[in-house]
Structure 1
Amino acid sequence: MSLLELTQQLMSIPSISSNREECHRALDWVIGQIGDLRGLYRHDFEYQGFRSVIFSTRPERRSGLVLNAHLDVVPAHSHQFTPEMRGNQLWGRGSYDMKGAAAVYLQLVKDLAAQNPEDRPNVQIQFVTDEEIGGHRGAERLVPEGFVGDFMIAGEPTNLNICYAAKGVYWVTVHLSGSPGHAAMPWQTQNPMGDLSRGLARLLEQYPAPSEPVWRTTATPTGILAESSHNRVPDKVSLKIDIRRVPEHTQDEIQADLQEFFPGTRIEVVQDSYAHYVDPANPWCVQLADMQQQQLGSRPQFYREHFASDARYWTNAGIPAVCWGPSGANMHADNEYLEADSLETYHRLMSLWMTRF
């Protein structure tokens, strides 16, 4: 099958992160497509019911180059799992994020299997099934298990530019307490909504919502929870906050702000995920950009991203890692699409890049 056909076949499997059966069906489809390994090594990994598979040219878990693709996708309308070509654009869920890159990685494994063993570079190619829900049972576990290397690439969609940094995820719920009572007699109550509103005002003053992309920490309130009726002052209220922190802003600093804004409250950390950062002057990053410039005639841009990827687990372990993948637009949206011709370009570039390891 062509790269486009491989992508379309993968897209037709509705491997939403919460559906383990379909995610594992996509994984088994990849394994089935590779067929005879011809001396390659296959490592099957499972943690808490979440499966991953790694194909390597060496028996050891550590390699020179690590490539990582996730097969899970975010929820979508049923029609989005029927791939549709519109000119050069492949529309549908997962086309851009990131079954196009996964199809390229699948083909790369087949390419490696067809090579003479002595000619194979020192590479491992990983397929995981939980990136869209944090990667806590896939990539986050693979790193301490030793599936690492000298350089790591996550095939996230970047339009063939190089993402070298991304914000960390810090989700908290602030729990406030008061004294309940009848809303018609507020003087007999201690309304936690007042403390919430005052704290929220200070939060938004310190972390104002940007009107355009900006590289700083953001704190976005996403929900207020209170079990009460219209005529009852609640005894408890909770505020959910989605915080995206830049690498230079620590969790301790954010926690100190929250304690100042909401004194005497319980602050529950729901998720605390690493930020992603590698110095763009790192020799591997420079060589990758040089190679692409030599092949395509233009140098890729180095840029920072606002959402997380699995690359953060490698940089947290001190391993240089970037996101670098095909072209398209509108990940997670109803109009998600992949530029189909970027598959061949990405495959050609990655094939060349692997020979350096």
Structure 2
Amino acid sequence: MSIQETPASASDPILDPAAGPVELTRQLCNIHSVSGDERAIADEVEAMLRRHAPHLAITRDGDTIIARTELGRDRRVAIAGHLDTVPINNNLPVRDETDPETGAAVIWGRGTVDMKAGVAVQLALAVELVAPAVDVTWVWYDHEEVASDLSGLGRAMRNHPELFAADFAILGEPSNGTIEGGCNGTLRARVELHGTRAHSARSWMGVNAIHRAGALLARLAAYEAERVVVDGLEYREGLNAVRIDGGVAGNVIPDRCCIEVNYRFAPSRSADEAVAFVRDFFVDADAVEIVDLSPGARPGLDAPLAQRFVAAVGQEPTAKLGWTDVSRFSALGIPAVNFGPGNALLAHADDERVPVGQIESSFSALRAWLSAAQEPLAK
């Protein structure tokens, strides 16, 4: 897709960076941005940056915005967040509430956790920090909540690889305002069992493929997933059936049963090793088709640059147990972590809500780290 250079909107702006990251979160959430319909929010983000951040070189690829400082620093950090959300379910516009469990002030509504609060922190800092201690590549992208091959981040990386060179990357996924290193890999496979059709009144004439699946499902249920320590962080694996189909009619012995399985694997395993494990686990199946595969990412906390970020956040990092786009940065050889306000367990929930205090603390920690100009950040 070609680069689009879109002029700032002539209409009244929706996004006001001077209002700060908390109010920006409200403003961002109230712009319709369900996956596949991100044009309006991408337009608003670009317009805001062109109005308020002349220090940034802006490139647009579809509904992905890339904004870079060009200060000649000896290190560069990429900081990214996605603009889209899962579908709305009577949970917009956002509203201010008190969390029933903690008593904390929260912003309630779709996208507050995943991940408009993280995007708001990034946008506020992108405008404010004219001369950060490192060069920064800010990225806001489309199509994260859908199939991986539609990802705006993946597309932009393919179209403009030169814009993504960096020494370290931060993805604003919700992490309760702490650092979550790397991520698990994920694999989906379709496992087929074959049989022979027959009339159900004469079942002995056939072979029931669904019955054949019973032993395989029992083995899956009995499987104990590993806990794997990678660079000091513990990742939990998982191998589970997530969908099953089979059968022909109410009076026919089925000749086919298909079980879809999802394998979440520690980043110490390569994608090829994950495939080999799944094929070996289902060696007695008639066919194993890998339908989706995304490698994990190691924690990315070895470099002094990352360690200074850990110090700025002030909490011990933990492992990211799901898959995130840090994997895309890791594939480019860029160590990457997840860091953003919000509890990932509330992502996509109808009562999605983010603590105001986490937005403010995430903003302060990231700002302090990027602003450390008096003490140049160590390599």
Query: Which of the five TM-score ranges fits, normalised by the shorter chain?
Result: 0.7 to 0.9
CA contact (8 A) 1:41 1:59 kept: no
Q: CA deviation at 1:227?
A: 4.2
Q: TM-score, normalised by structure 1?
A: 0.85
Match of 2:9 in 1: none
CA contact (8 A) 2:185 2:296 kept: yes
Distance 1:120 1:291, change over 3 A: closer
Cα distance per residue 1:224-262 (max 9 Å; x no partner): 112422221122221111211111234444444444434
Distance in 2 (CA, whole Å) between partners of 1:189 and 1:209 is: 39
Match of 1:295 in 2: none
Task: Find out whether 1:163 has 2:202 as its counterpart.
Answer: no
Distance in 1 (CA, whole Å) between partners of 2:277 and 2:367 is: 47
How many residues are aligned here? Answer: 335
Match of 1:140 in 2: 154
Match of 1:126 in 2: 139
Match of 1:344 among 360, 365, 368: 360
Q: Please say which of residues 124-133 and 142-151 is displaced more in the overlay.
A: 142-151
Distance in 2 (CA, whole Å) between partners of 1:354 and 1:65 is: 9
Amino acid of the structure 1 residue aligned with 2:259: L
Q: CA deviation at 1:119?
A: 6.8
Cα distance per residue 1:175-212 (max 9 Å; x no partner): 222211112212111221233222222233334699xx
Q: Please say which of residues 89-98 and 277-286 is displaced more in the overlay.
A: 277-286
Q: CA deviation at 1:169?
A: 1.1
Match of 1:80 among 55, 79, 91: 91
Distance in 2 (CA, whole Å) between partners of 1:208 and 1:196 is: 20
Match of 1:313 among 328, 331, 338: 328
Q: Structure 2: give runs of 5+ residues left out of the alignment.
A: 1-15, 99-104, 228-233
What SS does the corresponding residue of 1:133 show, helix, strand or coil?
coil
Distance in 2 (CA, whole Å) between partners of 1:132 and 1:93 is: 13
CA contact (8 A) 1:13 1:81 kept: no
CA contact (8 A) 1:162 1:322 kept: yes
Q: Structure 1: give runs of 5+ residues left out of the alignment.
A: 293-298
Match of 2:24 in 1: 6
What SS does the corresponding residue of 1:275 show, helix, strand or coil?
coil
Distance in 2 (CA, whole Å) between partners of 1:180 and 1:232 is: 7
CA contact (8 A) 1:152 1:322 kept: yes
Distance in 2 (CA, whole Å) between partners of 1:135 and 1:223 is: 19
Q: CA deviation at 1:277?
A: 1.3
CA contact (8 A) 1:82 1:92 kept: yes
Match of 2:347 among 296, 308, 331: 331
Cα distance per residue 1:38-59 (max 9 Å; x no partner): 242011123xxxx311011129
Task: Find out whether 1:267 has 2:288 as its counterpart.
Answer: yes
Match of 1:296 in 2: none
Distance 1:191 1:251, change over 3 A: farther
Cα distance per residue 1:254-310 (max 9 Å; x no partner): 444444434252212121011121243432221112223xxxxxx312111221111
CA contact (8 A) 2:320 2:338 kept: no
